[in-house]
Amino acid sequence: MENGFRLLTRLGEARIEETVELIRPRLTDHHGLHKGQAELDFAIQFFDEDIPLYVDPFLLWSSPSQQDQALHTAITNSFNHLNFLSKKGKPDQAIEVLINLSECSEVGLGVSKTRKGVKIGKKQALEILNLFSDIPEYSQFGFTHFEIIQLYIKGISKDRISDFSCNYIKSFLIDYTTEQCEITGTPMEGVILDSVYNYQKNKLDINQKAYLPVNPVSNEPIIFTPKRWLRFNPWINYEDYFQSHCPRDEVFNPNEPIERVKVLNFNRGNYGVVEDYLEYKIKSSTDCKNDPLFSQIPILSAKRKLAEILRLDSGKEDGADMKYEDLSADLMASLFYPHLDFAQTQSRTESGRHIRDLIFYNNRDIDFLDEIFTDYDNRQLVVEMKNVNKIERDHINQLNRYLQGGIGRFGIFLTRNPLPKAMFQNTIDLWSSQRKCIIAITDEDLKLMVDVYESKQRAPIEVLKKKYIEFRRRCPS
């Protein structure tokens, strides 16, 4: 880094080095922070891929927070300043700003598997800038919601809108990230950011110093975004416009192929149609809510999935094993939330057998989960799904070998029936010799967990705790 600017912050300790092989690692897991997503104000980032959500500037506009509203004003005014630059004979400067603000990899939002996106080109930036000259209303009054450019320009969609928004208010997001790091105890380092938009000067400040958390995989800085700003699709978006407001009979001839470019060209010549759509979205703004990073399934859905599981025969006939795994994944993710954040469904192969696991992040927010971490080194928990009539020695050996690695020494079978007496004794022997713990959750346990989920009097994860306590009572002291 320039001038050696990679000093550690006053938090006073170096970044915790990863010592275990985590699956789909997150920032909090890497630093040993015992916070689940539900407890934090910001979206927890992954190191190796984006979060499939986007900052929606409309949520800032509709927010009751005066601060959020002011940020939306800053975004809008900054975007409209491009029109000023163009009128002052500085279109090249405006194009350069657009290009540089079109990608914001630090926030980790989108669908990239590498956390690296591509900036727009000069041609696309010029098309955006030309909206000010092509449509008189924007030239005279500017945009009130700049995300409407999705309805005019090919290749501009939710990811670009999000990146533009984040870059325009990056200075605020840096301060927000620093504040959240201090609240949570997340280590930060001195970094150099390529550019930060200066709202007072309406220009990019190059090579800006900041203290931010760092991605240990890429050494790139990380910037947090508030959960309350995130949606899967912006409130204003092309797909919604096309389905509900586009006058297709005026755009396409009978039997003509429906092409997006033709809709965009029509919109540029029919400002009033787009303005009507915008007015409709503003009037219905009370329905605009942020999308949570994870939503539990309703109680009725949980009961239906349980009933489907119980009706399945054990084994693989008619794809029963795959149906069992799919139903169980949806159900378990909700039953364990928020104490265990769902990471992913993972497939692995061992000795020619296909094995499907559920992986959870251990948030350590209750005594039982903290004990699992302390005694068995589980930053994550693995649930191996087995739609079999009975667990056999090979199954236990497979899970046992998997627990040799960085996943931790506590593993769970999700299966139909209790372990046979000999297999249960096998798990006792594993604990005695290797201090490994393997618990089985059965159909009857699932019934109890769903009953608890419905009653809301206790947490379903307490059923797992109960099973663990019963197991430990059978272990030699």
What confidence tens digit (pLDDT) does each residue in 336-348 have? 999 999 988 888 7
Whole-angstrom distance, CA of residue 251 vs CA of residue 264: 10
Confidence at residue 113, expressed as pLDDT on a 0 to 100 scale: 79
Reference 164, options 224, 223, 217, 119; nearest CA is 119
Q: Quote the pTM value.
A: 0.82
Could you tell me the pLDDT band of residue 477, with boundaries at 50, 70 and 90? confident
Whole-angstrom distance, CA of residue 70 vs CA of residue 78: 12
Buried b (16+ CB within 10 A) or exposed e, 239-248: ebbeeeebee
Rg (CA), the chain: 26
What confidence tens digit (pLDDT) does each residue in 388-447 have? 999 999 999 999 988 876 789 999 999 999 999 999 999 999 999 999 999 999 999 999
Confidence at residue 181, expressed as pLDDT on a 0 to 100 scale: 96
CATH, range 299-474: 3.40.91
Residues of the chain with pLDDT > 90, as a percent, come to 80
Domain boundaries of the chain, sorted by first residue? 2-287, 299-474
The Cα-based distances of 63 to 69, 72, 120 in angstroms read 7, 10, 29
- 43 in Cβ contact with 51 (< 8 Å): yes
pLDDT at 461 over 90: yes
Reference 294, options 18, 112, 26; nearest CA is 26
